[in-house]
Structure 1
């Protein structure tokens, strides 16, 4: 493909995560961002057979995907940062702070 973005932005549904990522790779994208098709419920882990997949892929919320879609095609840099509630980041931060407190 002749795309201006190195990333494919793909909505969830219709086929497996694996198929979506492999199709993005075959089309020439350097990474796949798959976003949820519903606002409710927690995000799920992407699963499937990763054999042959050579590009990074990530699954994000519907809100994040729609934000990316709204800015698609603009000449700008956009970051998605993890929320700190109920995430690995919060566990890592709490663990690090606890370690600092114990060593003080």
Structure 2
């Protein structure tokens, strides 16, 4: 499972991979008691590194979704690897 975290103050996006099962921490602050461990792959991707169609896809995300539109899953992997969006591949299917 991939996790995206938008930092609106710095106009950056962080991309991570959920690595742990659900945990409940009763002594944590109320808004942080429900959690899963995350391996952050990149935390410094400028919002403009992604093309507009990918930003539109990501901007419409709800809590969980399947990234199939605009070749988003592959493009996010490339953003993590290279720091830039190569655009959608011409994939026939």
TM score, norm. by length of structure 2: 0.29
Higher strand share: 2
* Structure (1 or 2) with the larger CA radius of gyration: 1
* Larger relative contact order (CA 8 Å, sep ≥ 6): 1
